[in-house]
Amino acid sequence: MQEFGDFANIDIDKLLKGADEQFARMEEMQKSMADLVGHAQDDDGLVTVEYAAEGIRELQLHPKAMRLSAGELAEKVKDVIAAATTDLQKQVNEAMAEVFGEEDNPMSYINDPEKAMNQIKDAEAAYNRTFEDVMGELDSIRRRMNL
């Protein structure tokens, strides 16, 4: 009879409870993500933007903004939209870090593609080791059965 080692000592109830807690936190996070809104305003208070998951939610132009040239106003609007987007991204990162922890935050891969590639390479190596182990066992079984 094959021994299962430490695998046989897994506390299934603890494992399931942990999974249930993680799913509950993820569900709560999804609900709160809909409420996140990035805010930004230029230094002069001429352009104000609210940016949410659906895009620009609010764009306010102070009447004095109309005194700017079209090019100046366009640059201010673009800069404030970018700042509001950055603010929203920061809030999303914080929410994800609360659920997954800072180390396992999936949003960290957006800013660090090398980290993502290292994770992929590690997963590939683990898969290859497991595949080789399984194939070795199957070959051993085949030889014992004279197939």
Rounded average pLDDT over 58-86 = 96
* Of 32, 31, 41, 26, nearest in space to 87 by CA: 41
pLDDT greater than 60 at residue 2: no
Contact by Cβ (8 Å): 60, 45: no
pLDDT more than 70, % of the chain? 88
Give the pLDDT of residue 6. 57
* Of 44, 35, 89, 39, nearest in space to 59 by CA: 39
Higher-pLDDT residue of 93 and 56 is 56
Give me the half-sphere count of Cα atoms (radius 13 Å) on the Cβ side of residue 94.
10
Rounded average pLDDT over 67-72 = 96
* Cα–Cα distance measured from residue 130 to residue 23, given in angstroms and rounded to the nearest whole number: 28
Within the chain, where are the H helices?
A: 12-33, 70-100, 108-111, 113-144
pLDDT in tens, 81-119: 999 999 999 998 888 777 777 776 667 667 677 877 887
Neighbours of 100 (CB within 10 A): 17
Give the pLDDT of residue 106. 67
- The pLDDT-based confidence of 1 (bands split at 50, 70, 90) is very low
pLDDT greater than 50 at residue 48: yes
pLDDT more than 90, % of the chain? 36
* Cα–Cα distance measured from residue 19 to residue 11, given in angstroms and rounded to the nearest whole number: 12
pLDDT greater than 50 at residue 11: yes
Helix (H, G, I), strand (E, B) or coil at 59: strand
